[in-house]
Amino acid sequence: MNERVQRTYRRICEHLAAVQKPNGALAGEVIWNVMLPCQYVIVCHIVGHSISDERRRRILLQLERNARDDGGFGMHPDSPSWLFHTVLAYVAMRLLDVPADHPMAAKARAFIERHGGVAEVPTWGRIWLALLGLYPWDGVQPIVPELWLLPESSPAHPSRLYCHMRLIYLGLSYVYGTRFTAPETPIVERIRRELYPDGYAPDRLVASAGTIAATDLFEAPHPALGRIFGALRRLERLEPKALRARALDKAMDHILFEFRSTAYVCLSPVNGLLFTLALFIDDPAHPDLPKALEGLEYWVWEDDVDGFRICGARSDIWDTSFVVQALCEGPDVGPVRSVVEGGCRFLSAAQIQEEIVGGRRHHRAPAYGGWGFADERHPWPVSDCTAEALEALIAAERRDLSDRAGRLDLGRKTAAVAFVLLRQNDDGGFGSYEARRGPMILRKFNPAEIYGNCMLEYSYTECTGSCVRGLATARRHLKALMPPSLAERTDTAIAKGRAFIEGAQGDAGGWPGFWGINYTYGTMFALSGLLAAGVDRTNPRVRAAVRFLLDHQREDGGWGESYLGMLDGRDVPLAADEPSLVVQTAWALLSLLAAAPEERTAIDRGVAYLLERVGPDGVYPREKASGCFFNTAVLDYDLYRQEFPAWALARYLATYG
């Protein structure tokens, strides 16, 4: 078996070398759904930004690739069709001059009519329709900008929200606060007639504003939230215009800071699209508007195979960190050294080495010393991205696989450690971009009906596992070189993180994931954190996790979980007639190789499955997505199907020679 593993490992490494970028980064597309391309079309229509014929063709190609047999469009490739995505897709098609009787448009419109019509689209869909005059603003949740005027000590201040939600609602509060509606055009007037075949009746839509399509409703708003919205609507009628103007000015100040502090790429394309609209609403000739439109291109992937996509995230630092760690565990064969050297040079250059000027005033956590998820252009650093990048660089230095440009000095290593420590919550777990700021009660007031667990930073099993492992690696690597006070804080953080992981273990022995599907993912990070923190392989918690993984190995030798488990935190296996997933098999193997190398029979079966699935060119076929966030938003990290099998095979070779 070892010779076959070595040959396969080398072929995978050769493929990774072939896709490595000139700057040393490795990154796959983070594939999501049609929501963002459709919103891009709406933004371009409103601001008057022309879409080239080639891009128009590619947007329509992406829609064709994602249209379902029932005419709808889904949250992700494996989900049923959702009304929200289908309405956006229909509007985008028509704005791109697709005839209403075109089969794709006609089937989408029929789906909309069968599922309650536009009246039942979720709130975020209503806002995009209202911007075009296709839905009344009075039927939209009152996302008021005045919240930005509250004292920062207030539990309702938006700074307490999870940063993605904070910035999305910053953009939404601006467009809602202006009640902007684009001038009507002939195509919009036709779309209105098509979406409302019985006539456009704003009063009727307002009366049914509390109804959300069953296809889309994941988490119903708390009843108290409805009462709060009612009170806000009443207050809006009494509000002095000067107060609203002051609130909008405050919101625009935050928007401009986000644009200018990120070179116009923003935290995500979701808030980037909303902020671009806000600039146009503020001033159609705003000098920052062309830069904002150009900043959206940062998130674009397009070709003639899958068309035009706007990804949910870029993953250069995340993917590169995993690839470097993977290859540092395996034999130095073929292109391994050059791939690792290039990856380390990229990671070294991507660390944030200056604090963001003005960040505190705009509710930004300290960024110095961290790494983000994307690349050096994206100054939003993350706890586990920093831990994984730091561990990758230390591993390459220890194996002597990095050159001088790919190594950090002591100050930069300790800055990374200090950055990670700032993301630890009081319960010992780690958040992602920030430590949790708001009270847990805010989770009950989620107004985004289509997503769950999106209001706050939590303590995530995966982030905690990464951070504990990264901190423990740095502690062992630096030893006495780490300043005593930092060493003491690091030791305390590792102990608290270990306790959090132990307390989060499920009754069956596994750990649920938040950012990946699901128990296989969470268990990999949790086990690696415990082992790095000094927990012995014979520990009962480790043995329970090993038994959990062994019990879930499938007949074909692999592992596979369904995204359905993310909806309510359960362990849901794939259907028996579906093949195991390469990515999840690699995750399980990494856990077993670290925690139970004596389980050779199960490990050999899993490795045999990886060898069976790989192509002759070292490329694994695309499979079901394994990433997720907010329970419903499943993501396909395209490079996962290469980097994690490479890592599992590398660890196998290191373990068994």
DSSP 278-325: HHHHH-TT-TTHHHHHHHHGGGEEEETTTEEEE-S---HHHHHHHHHH
Does residue 457 contact residue 439 with C-beta atoms inside 8 Å?
no
Give the range among 209-218, 337-346, 633-642 with minimum mean pLDDT: 209-218
Rounded-to-integer distance, Cα 182 and Cα 284, Å: 11
319 half-sphere exposure, CB direction, 13 A CA radius = 27
Do domains 2-29+312-656 and 34-310 share one topology? The answer is yes
Per-residue pLDDT at 545 exceeds 90: yes
What pLDDT was estimated at residue 257?
98
What pLDDT was estimated at residue 440?
87
Query: What are phi and psi for residue 266, nearest 5 degrees?
Result: 65, 175
Rounded-to-integer distance, Cα 453 and Cα 605, Å: 37
Per-residue pLDDT at 509 exceeds 80: yes
Q: Which residues pair with 382 in a beta bridge?
A: 371
What pLDDT was estimated at residue 644?
98
Confidence band, pLDDT 50/70/90 cuts, at residue 221: confident
pLDDT in tens, 349-375: 999 999 999 999 999 999 999 999 999
- Output the pTM of the full model: 0.97
- Cβ-based neighbours of 141, under 8 Å, separated by 6 or more: 123, 229, 447
pLDDT in tens, 416-463: 999 999 999 999 999 999 999 998 888 888 888 999 999 999 999 999
Prior bond of 518 cis (ω within 30°): yes
pLDDT in tens, 157-205: 999 999 999 999 999 999 999 999 999 999 999 999 999 999 999 999 9
Confidence band, pLDDT 50/70/90 cuts, at residue 508: very high
Q: What is the mean pLDDT of residues 560-584?
A: 95
Q: What is the mean pLDDT of residues 262-271?
A: 97
Confidence band, pLDDT 50/70/90 cuts, at residue 229: confident
% of the chain exceeding 90 in pLDDT:
93
Q: What is the mean pLDDT of residues 248-260?
A: 98
Rounded-to-integer distance, Cα 642 and Cα 569, Å: 27
Does residue 192 contact residue 133 with C-beta atoms inside 8 Å?
yes
What pLDDT was estimated at residue 510?
98
Please state, as a whole number, how many other Cβ atoms lie within 10 Å of the Cβ of residue 139. 20
What pLDDT was estimated at residue 232?
87
Supply the DSSP symbol for 221. P
% of the chain exceeding 70 in pLDDT:
100
Supply the DSSP symbol for 422. T
Per-residue pLDDT at 60 exceeds 80: yes
> In terms of DSSP H, where are the helices of 429-518?
461-478, 484-504
Residue with tokens 């604090």: 355
Does residue 324 contact residue 397 with C-beta atoms inside 8 Å?
no
Q: Which of 288, 316, 384, 638 is catalytic?
A: 384
Tell me which amino acid residue 633 is.
Answer: A
Does residue 447 contact residue 141 with C-beta atoms inside 8 Å?
yes
Domain ranges of the chain: 2-29+312-656, 34-310
Per-residue pLDDT at 1 exceeds 80: no
What pLDDT was estimated at residue 121?
96
Which CATH number is 2-29+312-656 given? 1.50.10.20
Closest CA to 67 of 34, 41, 113: 34
Per-residue pLDDT at 566 exceeds 80: yes
What pLDDT was estimated at residue 437?
95
Q: Which residues pair with 629 in a beta bridge?
A: 633
Q: Are strands 81-82 and 300-303 parallel, antiparallel or unpaired?
A: unpaired
What pLDDT was estimated at residue 98?
98
Mean pLDDT of the residues in the chain: 96
Confidence band, pLDDT 50/70/90 cuts, at residue 276: very high
> Could you confirm whether 577 is annotated as catalytic?
no
pLDDT in tens, 450-476: 999 999 999 999 999 999 999 999 999
Query: Given 3.40.50.720, 1.50.10.20, 3.90.700.10, 3.40.50.970, which CATH number is that of 34-310?
Result: 1.50.10.20
pLDDT in tens, 607-647: 999 999 999 999 999 999 999 999 999 999 999 999 999 99
Q: What is the mean pLDDT of residues 37-54?
A: 98
